Each structure stands twice: as C-alpha cells, then as structure tokens.
Structure 1
Amino acid sequence: MPQVQLNGQTIQFEDTGGPGLPVLFSHGFLMDQEMFAAQREALRGEFRVISWDQRGFGRSEFDGQPFTYWDSARDALALLDHLQIERAVLAGMSQGGYLSLRAALLAPQRVQALVLIDTQAGPEHEDKRAAYRQLLDTWASVGPVDALAQTIATIIIDDPAENARWIAKWRARPHATIREPGRCLLERDDLRPRLSEIRCPALVIHGSRDTAIEPAQAQALREGLPRGEGVVLIEGAAHAANLTHPQAVNLPLLAFLRRIAAAGPAL
C-alpha cells in the first residue's frame, strides 16, 4: 500500500489510477479505508478511486498531537496535491463527511462535488456527548473489551459478521491512540451556519436505522446545501450504510458520479 508524508503524518492510501473522474473516499470514526472496498470495486475502471487512512486510524502513522477536522481536510487536500489531482469528488462517511465539508469550504475550487454518507454538519449533540466521552475514556484506558466493543460495533455497523471483523481490527491497535481522534470528534465545531457557502453539487445518503446520526440530520444537511439533492435513504442500514448495504448505496452513487462526470469540470 503506498504511503506519503503529509502535514507531519505518514498517510497510507490506495489509488486505482486511470483517466476517470477522481473520487476521494474518506472513512468514518474507528474505521479505515477498507470500509470502501465494495465502492472501489464498483467504480474502478470508470472512475479514479482514491481511499486513505486518516490520522489515528488504519495503517497511517499518527503523531498523537491534537488536531481538528480542519487539519484532516488539509490532509485530504494535500493527498490530492501529492497525486497531482486538481479537482475531485469528495465522498465521506460520518467523520469523512465532516472533513469533506471542511475541504469544500477551504478550497471550493478543488471540490467538484460531495457525496455525504451518514454524516451531518452540526456538532455532537449534548445528550450524546457525555455518553460517548465515557465510552471513549474506557476504550483509551482498557481497550475495546467485549461489552464496549459490541455496543460500538452495533451503533456503527449492526451486522454480526462485520461487527466481529471490525472488532478484531480495533483490538489489534494500541487502545490509547483513540484519545486525540475522540477529542476531535466530540469537540468539532458547528458548520451549519456556513453550509450556504458550499456551492458544488452534493448527494446525501443515509441509513434508515442510523442511531448515531438520525435521518432527520441528513435531511437538514441536504436542505442547508444550496445544491444538495434529495436524501437517498438506505432501508435497514445503520450508520455504516455503504459497508453493510453496498448495492443499495452503489446504485445512486454511480448515477450521481456519472452525471458529474458528464457535466465536466465547468460544473
């Protein structure tokens, strides 16, 4: 897997290459780029698909210092620079959506369109923040023990086979590394007042059974984006809709990307 030094981090990424419209996939919290394997296979050949492991996750080497999703957005833009990609579609799930929205604000000329999967523009709701902080403190102290791991896997994935696979990945990582990514997640700023500044087309996809970010938040996100399309609700999916329901996600995703590619760079 290729790697590159970006903003003091060693970032692992994959790039299918080719002349197609570039699409950069950014994963959710506790996940890594492998969660987009089904999308990579569905899109490769027709699109140039790039995926990467963000700070604190996957195989990327994280310096352990405090950071925000604005820093992660700069990492994404720096990866595009490294790959000599001037303009791309940014597709992000959950925290991947947080950084993709911020990249669109930092460098609107670089973002041809957005695909926002099970994400939102607001901060963590106060009612959930305290409970999530407790979960993350326990994780950082003793690791993803059985009850904790199952609880979080059910919130994010809610599929027995996938739950077990990702729990095994979580347990293979040093558990204390969750502290700074967790702080970044829980203390993120509110983008809702700035959504009107994002002028590129945006597709919003959301699991109907997402309890981490309720579907109403997806609707609010779509309504706040000047060129947001209607919300594609993935029936039966929890938070990681693209992982557990790839066919249902890939159909609208492909249709959207084909429209963006056909419209060309002047869109």
Structure 2
Amino acid sequence: MPPTPPLTVVFAHGYCLNQDSWHFQREAFRDGLRLVFWDQRSHGRSERSRSYLAGQQSSIDQLGEDLGAVIDAVAPTGPLVLVGHSMGGMTIMALADQRPELFAERVAGVALLGTTAGSWRGVTLGLPGVGARMFHRIGPGVIKALGRQAGLVERGRRLSSELTAAIYQKFSFGSDDIDPALAHFAQDLLEATPVDVVAEFFPVFPAHEKTAALAVLRDIPTLVMAGTRDLLTPPSHSEAIAAELPDAELDIVPDTGHLLMLERPDLVDARLADLLERAAAHCGAPLPQHVHDLAQATRRA
C-alpha cells in the first residue's frame, strides 16, 4: 500500500481581510508542509465577483463553491486540513454542506477560528440591546448606501484614518497592549478592502445558517477557537459550534479579540500544530518534526 501523501493545509481568510492576515501562520508552517493561501472573491488580489457585478447577491454558499474550486485546482489529491477565520470558517461550513464526500474521503482536520454557524443577528457588537437591534435593522441599508458612494467614502476613509484607528482596534483586538506596528498592519488590511466590497458581503451574515452542516465534521479532528473579547463573533458562537462537535478541541482565549491569529500568533500556531498532529494521525500522513516541536507548546500551556 503506498504511503499517505503529506498534508495540504488550506487557509481561508475573513471578511474585509485577505490572505496576508495569515502572516504569522505562513511563517510558522512554511517549512515541510504544503500551504495554500487564497483571497476570497472580491477581496485582496482576487477580481471583483462577476456574478455580483451582474446583479446577483453574494452568498456564503458561493464562497463554499469557490473553496471547492481552489482545492480542485491546486490540491486535487491527498489529505487536507482546512483552516478558516470568521467568514473563512463559514466558507468551510458551506463546503461541508455542499460536498460531504470530500470531507469523508480527504479532509483530515478542520480549524474554525472566531466564526459562527448561524444566528448572527443576535450579535450585539458590544452595543446596548436597543442599539444592537437598531444596527441590525438599519445597518445593512446604510452600508449598501455607502457602497453606492464608494469614491466619496474612500476619500473620507483616507482623511479620517487616524480617527477610525480606535474603532478598528476595538473590533480587531481584545487587549489595549497591542504593538502599534501590528495595529497599523491590521488597519491596512481592513482599509485595503473597498467600501463597495464591504457592502457586497455584509448582507450575507444574517442569512448564514450552517449548524446542520457541522455534522459532517463529527469524525474529523477539529479545533474551535475564539477570543473572550470578540465583538463580531462572540465566544458563545464557538461554544455552540463545539456543542455540535463533542470531540472538538475548544479554546476560548482570554483578553483576545476577533483577529486572534494576529493578536495571539504563538498560541494559535501551537494549537494549529496540535491539530496537524491529530490530523496526521487520523489519516496516516507524515509530519515535519518542527510541527511536533511546536505542538509541544500546547501541551505545556
């Protein structure tokens, strides 16, 4: 019987970000593993969604199909580990719903970081109850209107970048003690996403409901992580995912916000290394020694 090929690890980034949000993970795992980074449609270096430009509303299901197309194109054989943050985690759930056979035959591990399986309308964003309900009621319309005035809004974003830095930090990180260079890096990622792309995808989150699709992951080593101060996908959403996956590793990280892979890279890297160990054992794939060494940090924590 031929040996199992090495793992291919596919990273799916979140809303208003791009593949550079995995900067620390790219550095940690670049030796001895095959890594796939890609920009979701309309984000980063990907072109604008042609279907959206033609008048079709974007959806998480579309993103799931995109992920499947990426896998088919660049990793058509061998075991896979899928890592998704925020919207990227939803993308993985959509793919599980669409192609459960892929997960049964090839997916050896899944990481869901700062994401949700549904019920996003209940997220308060740190606002009082009345404010949260008002935001969910009028927010989509306001953001859609801003998207129609993209040129004007983009000029305003550039002029007010210092004023908006505090808002970006509040919704990105859970600690006030953030390296200014890291805060600027995160802000650059967010501001690189055009406002009309922000408007394109914002309506998809209330419609996202993939709790039933989590059943596809029940026999697959899975890591679920969230920060206690995540205002966009609060830890209760990760706890709800873990409740559907009794064998999943759940890690709720204190004093950490939505961009946990940037805010706590050492911890996230160690948890991912532990997942890669479990995935390799699950499918019999080889694993570089440095991944085993990195996983030891999880067991020492």
> TM-score interval w.r.t. the shorter chain?
0.7 to 0.9
Q: Check if 1:264 corresponds to 2:260.
A: no
Q: Check if 1:240 corresponds to 2:259.
A: yes
TM-score relative to the length of structure 2: 0.73
Whether the aligned pair in 1 keeps the contact of 2:17 and 2:189 (CA below 8 Å) is: no
Whether the aligned pair in 2 keeps the contact of 1:55 and 1:181 (CA below 8 Å) is: no
CA distance in 2, matches of 1:132, 1:255: 39
CA distance in 2, matches of 1:173, 1:192: 29
Q: Match of 2:185? A: 165
Higher fraction of helix = 2
Q: CA deviation at 1:225?
A: 2.3
> Gapped runs of 5+ residues in structure 2?
123-132, 286-301
Q: CA deviation at 1:131?
A: 6.4
Q: CA deviation at 1:254?
A: 0.1
Decide whether aligned partners of structure 1 residues 219 and 172 sit closer, same or farther in structure 2, where only a CA change above 3 A counts. Answer: closer
- Structure 1 counterpart SS, 2:273: helix
- Structure 2 counterpart SS, 1:23: strand
Q: Match of 1:36? A: 22
Q: Match of 2:69? A: 78
User: Root-mean-square deviation (CA), in Å?
Assistant: 2.5
CA distance in 2, matches of 1:164, 1:135: 26
Whether the aligned pair in 1 keeps the contact of 2:15 and 2:87 (CA below 8 Å) is: yes
Give CA deviations for 1:81-121 in whole Å, capped at 9, x if unaligned: 11143341111000000011111222223232210000110
Q: CA deviation at 1:135?
A: 6.6
CA distance in 1, matches of 2:265, 2:164: 26
Q: CA deviation at 1:134?
A: 6.2
> Gapped runs of 5+ residues in structure 1?
1-18
Whether the aligned pair in 1 keeps the contact of 2:221 and 2:275 (CA below 8 Å) is: no
Q: CA deviation at 1:57?
A: 0.9
Alignment of 1:149-160 (within 5 A): 150-157=166-173, 159=178, 160=180
CA distance in 1, matches of 2:102, 2:86: 21
Decide whether aligned partners of structure 1 residues 168 and 138 sit closer, same or farther in structure 2, where only a CA change above 3 A counts. Answer: farther
Alignment of 1:82-121 (within 5 A): 82-86=73-77, 87-111=79-103, 112=107, 113-121=109-117
TM-score relative to the length of structure 1: 0.81
Q: Match of 1:195? A: 214
Whether the aligned pair in 2 keeps the contact of 1:150 and 1:163 (CA below 8 Å) is: no
Whether the aligned pair in 1 keeps the contact of 2:173 and 2:230 (CA below 8 Å) is: no
Give CA deviations for 1:162-221 in whole Å, capped at 9, x if unaligned: 332333344445432322122223x43312244334332211011121111211211111
Decide whether aligned partners of structure 1 residues 123 and 176 sit closer, same or farther in structure 2, where only a CA change above 3 A counts. Answer: same
1:56 to 42, 48, 53: 42
- Structure 2 counterpart SS, 1:55: coil
Decide whether aligned partners of structure 1 residues 150 and 77 sit closer, same or farther in structure 2, where only a CA change above 3 A counts. Answer: same
From the CA coordinates, give the structure whose radius of gyration is larger: 2
